[in-house]
């Protein structure tokens, strides 16, 4: 039976930790509620061997990863909704947080709040950790006296965003492994195997086929001047990365990405889902529409799509509504525009935005599976062609030297 480790708090805010054997997470929640304690965090203990889906790709030098902020927000919303004050909630989270740097940040934020600062103003001191979206939603929640509900919506948003990111990362593991193994095989052949054949052919002093001669020459260059090859690869990567970071380079790169078959469609769906979920979360939390559009623009990664959203902001500013400027911008497909238009007419815009996001999240999952199903065989075929060319070139050279008909 699975074992779940939990962190909970009683009515007085005292922290309680422990473990419970249960079939599923909901059974743990029910058991804790019967004990009159509030569950803050419940995690299933993993076995000795982690799965690929559980691997973390966070930056170890970063003060707090997206996953850390997601957990912090969920725990904070749980405490606030249960009636515990913000000051007491931050005090409890100081003990709950495992990462030392984030714990220090929460402690500093609590001190500022305790000293009379608003929670949102205290968070603005850490712009690299708490995004503009995060801070604006917190500010609206504080102003309206609904900080618990707003942080709950924010935690839902962060969890779904993180889940999408993890799905994409997990899906890329298999193609990356194939490319690594195939690339390693080619490097071994070029550096260790082909030079031995080159020595044999050289000692025989006979003419070899052009394909084998080119292959041996390339292998010799890579073996003797590998540092030049490595230098040019690193230099090219650095220059490309630096160019992409410029406004012009970023725009060209994003335009090119959108034109790639399958990949471009996937990127567009991801950005549409991100736009709708972020916009819906902000509106439902009480952030003004114009301010929400400015924040959403910063969330969109693709510069081409982000620039098209500027027309929406201008249209809303002059009273055209949302669906009209959306249609003029051509940034969203007809289905999404029609659904948003209906939501705008019925007064359920934020709910319709969430539905659009859910639809595209499902499409993204299907698209990722289709792309991985296509990339795997293509990589195998490409590596087979490269290795096959190397082997065939060496065999033709051997047959020509021994005058064996081929």
Separation of alpha carbons 316 and 324, rounded Å: 9
pLDDT in tens, 94-143: 888 888 889 999 999 999 998 889 999 999 999 889 988 888 889 888 88
For CA atoms 150, 156, 160, 161, the dihedral sign is positive
Q: What does residue 344 show for φ and ψ, rounded to 5 degrees?
A: -65, -40
For CA atoms 237, 238, 241, 246, the dihedral sign is negative
Q: Which H/E stretch holds residue 275?
A: helix 263-284
Contacts (Cβ under 8 Å, ≥6 apart) of 29: 39, 42
Contacts (Cβ under 8 Å, ≥6 apart) of 25: 4, 42, 44
Separation of alpha carbons 127 and 348, rounded Å: 32
Low-confidence ranges of the chain (pLDDT < 50): 48-58, 61, 404-406
Determine the pLDDT at residue 203: 81
Beta strands in 26-136 (DSSP E): 38-44
Determine the pLDDT at residue 111: 92
The residue whose two tokens read 């090219």 is 236
Instruction: For each of the domains in the chain, give its residue range(s) and CATH number, in order of start.
Output: 1-46 (3.10.20), 166-406 (1.20.81.30)
Contacts (Cβ under 8 Å, ≥6 apart) of 138: 119, 120, 123, 147, 150, 151, 154
Q: Does this model's pTM top 0.75? A: no
Separation of alpha carbons 83 and 91, rounded Å: 14
pLDDT in tens, 217-256: 888 888 888 888 889 999 999 999 999 888 888 889 988 9
Q: Which H/E stretch holds residue 341?
A: helix 334-346
Encoding tokens for residue 341?
Answer: 């238009």
Q: What does R_g of the chain's alpha carbons equal in angstroms?
A: 28
Separation of alpha carbons 35 and 272, rounded Å: 44
Determine the pLDDT at residue 402: 65
Which residues, in sequence order, are bridge partners of residue 21?
Answer: 3
Separation of alpha carbons 208 and 194, rounded Å: 14
Specify whether the CB–CB gap between 300 and 309 falls below 8 A.
yes
Determine the pLDDT at residue 52: 45
Determine the pLDDT at residue 54: 45
Q: What does residue 114 show for φ and ψ, rounded to 5 degrees?
A: -65, -30
Separation of alpha carbons 290 and 297, rounded Å: 11
Determine the pLDDT at residue 49: 44
């Amino acid at each position: 039976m699975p074992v779940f480790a939990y962190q909970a708090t009683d009515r007085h805010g005292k922290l309680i930790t422990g473990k419970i054997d249960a079939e599923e997470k909901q059974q743990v929640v029910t058991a804790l509620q019967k004990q009159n304690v509030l569950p803050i965090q419940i995690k299933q203990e993993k076995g000795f061997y982690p799965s690929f889906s559980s691997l973390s790709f966070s930056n170890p030098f970063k003060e707090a990863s997206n996953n850390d902020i997601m957990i912090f927000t969920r725990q904070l919303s749980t405490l606030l909704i249960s009636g515990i004050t913000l000051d007491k909630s931050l005090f409890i989270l100081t003990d709950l947080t495992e990462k030392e740097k984030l714990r220090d940040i929460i402690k500093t934020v609590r001190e500022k709040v305790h000293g009379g600062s608003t929670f949102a103003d205290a968070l603005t001191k850490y712009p690299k950790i708490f995004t503009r979206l995060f801070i604006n939603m917190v500010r609206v929640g504080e102003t309206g006296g609904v900080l618990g509900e707003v942080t709950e919506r924010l935690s839902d948003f962060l969890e779904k965003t993180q889940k999408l990111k993890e799905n994409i990362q997990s899906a890329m593991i298999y193609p990356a492994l194939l490319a690594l193994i195939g690339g390693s095989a080619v490097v071994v052949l070029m550096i260790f195997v082909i030079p031995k054949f080159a020595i044999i052919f050289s000692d025989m002093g006979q003419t070899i086929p052009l394909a084998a001669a080119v292959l041996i020459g390339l292998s010799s260059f890579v073996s003797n001047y590998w540092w030049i090859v490595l230098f040019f690869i690193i230099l090219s990567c650095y220059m490309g990365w630096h160019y992409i970071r410029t406004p012009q380079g970023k725009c060209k790169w994003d335009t090119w990405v959108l034109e790639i078959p399958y990949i471009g469609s996937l990127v567009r769906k991801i950005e549409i889902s991100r736009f709708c979920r972020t916009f819906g979360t902000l509106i439902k939390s009480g952030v003004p529409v114009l301010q929400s559009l400015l924040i959403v623009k910063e969330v969109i990664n693709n510069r081409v799509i982000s620039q098209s959203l500027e027309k929406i902001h201008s249209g809303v500013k002059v009273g055209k509504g949302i669906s009209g400027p959306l249609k003029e911008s051509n940034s969203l497909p007809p289905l999404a525009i029609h659904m948003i238009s209906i939501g705008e007419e019925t007064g359920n815009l934020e709910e319709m935005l969430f539905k659009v996001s859910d639809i595209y999240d499902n499409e993204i999952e299907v698209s990722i599976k289709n792309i991985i199903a296509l990339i795997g065989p293509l990589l195998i075929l490409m590596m087979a062609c490269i290795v096959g060319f190397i082997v065939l070139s060496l065999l033709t050279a051997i047959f020509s030297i021994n005058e064996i008909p081929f």
